[in-house]
Amino acid sequence: MGPALTTARYNRVAIILHWLIAIFILGLVPVGLWMEDAPKAIQISVYQLHKSFGLMVLFLSLARLGWRFMNPPPPLPDTMKAWERLAAQGTHIVFYGLIIAIPLSGWMMVSASPKNIPTMFLTQINWPHIWFLAQMGAEHKKGIAGGLHEVHELLAFGTIGLLLLHVGAALKHQFINKDNEMTRMIPAMGESTPPVRKPRGALLVFGGTALLFVTMALLGNLPEKAIPANRLGAQANTQGNWIVDPANSKLAFAFTHSGRTVEGNFTRWNADILFDPDDLASANITVHVDLGSAQTGDVSYDKSLPEADWFDIASASEAVFQSQSVRKNEDGEYIMVGHLTLRGLRLPLFLVFGLDINGDEAFAQGVASLDRLAFGIGTNADPGAGTVSKIVQVQFRVKAKRRAAS
């Protein structure tokens, strides 16, 4: 008697989950192989796409596993030999382990990376790092990041091999054994019988998966610990003859990342200004900048900048510029030389600015160039300035009012 022409198929939900996972895995493979060679202008976006696909696979696989537990799969065809049944069951167990372990290992790898690059799920949701890995010191991270990367790659290539084996076995059963095995997941390919049992547990499985996803997403978007807006206030304008108008002043910065210009500004800073264009020798300007107030409008940068490899606000939350001398050049611009204290280092910095004084109001606008590597900024993530520019342009616009004589 020849092999049966019909076989029991999976229920519709199981089929949909199966093919959704398959689609994302097929998307992960080429993106993962290509992303290290992707053009710098889009490389970060490609990495974020890869991580988003990985998270999709993780949560769809958890839902698929829960659904399989609540709704056991249909029996294998009677025509399959005992060893084929054992191999099929073993392959499924290993497959489920891999499609959950791969995104988990990737999540661990990203969390332990010294680069500390945030994961933006579908470019919109800031996904949290695994806490205990993210809290490790930079040197400790360097020690395990390489190993986690190797584990992730080995799991990925193992999945590719198992996927080819799985597809090959399915084709063999469908077209050589002719037992309609593929109709279990592709009913249109031949005769198949519908599931006997009515599906159950949808609310538990999908509600639980959705709750887990939302919980993790909320953890990644918790508000940062509030920093008092007036923490610099006690230092502001205590000795100078000019009072800064914060509403009409701005302290900004710009750098390039993977060929893209990133612009931001500090929302909390102040300047104590003693300045007389007729007596430059007496000029004395002190600027305090709250590093925790940096913002770019991009969550991925705003989350990274306070971290230890960048501004390291946990160790030193302020940057302080102290002027040393001022002179006026032939073009009528002022050149100010001073020292910037940042991340515990005090290094020379000079500013070039124009100044317009009209009665009791003054307007200054200028620039400074800062070598981030000299201050140890981003030395773990990009010590060779391959993706993040070495030079950061600092731009300032200050409107001030002359302090009334006491």
Residue 156 tokens read as: 């990925």
The torsion angle over the Cα atoms of residues 302, 303, 309 and 314, rounded to 10 degrees, is 100
> Do residue 136 and residue 272 come from a single domain?
no
Inside any domain, residue 148: yes
Q: How many residues does the chain have?
A: 406
pLDDT tens track for 273-291: 999 999 999 999 999 999 9
pLDDT at site 4: 45
Q: For residue 123, is pLDDT > 90?
A: no
> Do residue 257 and residue 212 come from a single domain?
no
> Do residue 167 and residue 258 come from a single domain?
no
DSSP for 220-286, please give it.
TTPPPPP--TTTTGGGTTSS-SEEE-GGG-EEEEEEEETTEEEEEEESSEEEEEE--TT-GGG-EEE
Span 333-355, mean pLDDT? Answer: 95
From 219, 246, 273, give the residue that closes a domain: 219
Tokens 């300047």 -> residue? 271
Q: Please state which of the ranges 35-44, 67-76, 86-95, 209-218 shows the lowest mean pLDDT.
A: 35-44
pLDDT at site 1: 41
Span 11-26, mean pLDDT? Answer: 94
**% of the chain exceeding 90 in pLDDT:** 53
Inside any domain, residue 227: no
Do the bridges between strand 192-193 and strand 7-8 make them parallel or antiparallel, or are there none, so unpaired?
parallel
Q: For residue 237, is pLDDT > 80?
A: no
Tokens 């040197």 -> residue? 139
Residue 42, domain extent: 7-219
Confidence of residue 147 (pLDDT cuts 50, 70, 90): very high
Degrees (nearest 5) of the Cα angle 48, 54, 57?
Answer: 145
Inside any domain, residue 224: no
Confidence of residue 22 (pLDDT cuts 50, 70, 90): very high
> Do residue 389 and residue 318 come from a single domain?
yes
pLDDT tens track for 172-187: 877 887 777 788 888 8
pLDDT at site 3: 46
CB atoms under 10 Å from CB of 281, counted, come to: 8
Maximum C-alpha span of the chain: 110
- CATH (domain of 159): 1.20.950.20
Q: For residue 17, is pLDDT > 80?
A: yes
Q: Is there a contact between 138 and 309 (Cβ–Cβ < 8 Å)?
A: yes
Whole-model pTM?
A: 0.68
pLDDT at site 406: 62
> Do residue 245 and residue 207 come from a single domain?
no
User: HEC states along 117-178?
Assistant: CCEEECCCEEECCCHHHHCCCHHHHHHHHHHHHHHHHHHHHHHHHHHHHHHHHHHHHHHCCC
> Do residue 110 and residue 40 come from a single domain?
yes
Inside any domain, residue 183: yes
Confidence of residue 211 (pLDDT cuts 50, 70, 90): very high
> Do residue 249 and residue 397 come from a single domain?
yes
> Do residue 11 and residue 112 come from a single domain?
yes
> Do residue 58 and residue 138 come from a single domain?
yes
Residue 359 tokens read as: 């009665």
Inside any domain, residue 318: yes
> Do residue 192 and residue 284 come from a single domain?
no
Span 63-68, mean pLDDT? Answer: 95
pLDDT at site 387: 85
Residue 252 tokens read as: 């900004």
Would you give the DSSP letter of residue 183?
A: G
For the chain, what is the domain count? 2
Three-class SS state of 399: strand
pLDDT at site 349: 95
pLDDT at site 68: 94
pLDDT tens track for 152-178: 999 999 989 988 988 888 888 778 877
Query: How far is the first Cα of the chain from the last one, in angstroms, to the nearest whole number?
Result: 110
- CATH (domain of 394): 2.40.128.110
Q: For residue 18, is pLDDT > 90?
A: yes
Span 334-348, mean pLDDT? Answer: 94
Phi, psi of 85 (to 5 degrees): -65, -45
Q: For residue 5, is pLDDT > 60?
A: no
From 176, 196, 219, give the residue that closes a domain: 219
> Do residue 75 and residue 153 come from a single domain?
yes
> Do residue 149 and residue 262 come from a single domain?
no
pLDDT at site 234: 42
From 186, 219, 252, give the residue that closes a domain: 219
Span 47-69, mean pLDDT? Answer: 94
Inside any domain, residue 225: no
- 269 forms bridges with which residues in the sheet? 289
Nearest to residue 166, comparing CAs of 79, 251, 94?
94
Q: For residue 324, is pLDDT > 90?
A: yes
Q: For residue 233, is pLDDT > 60?
A: no
pLDDT at site 2: 46
pLDDT at site 229: 43
pLDDT averaged over every residue in the chain = 87
Tokens 């230092």 -> residue? 235
Would you give the DSSP letter of residue 85?
A: H
Q: Is 319 left (phi over 0), alpha (psi -120 to 50) or beta?
A: beta
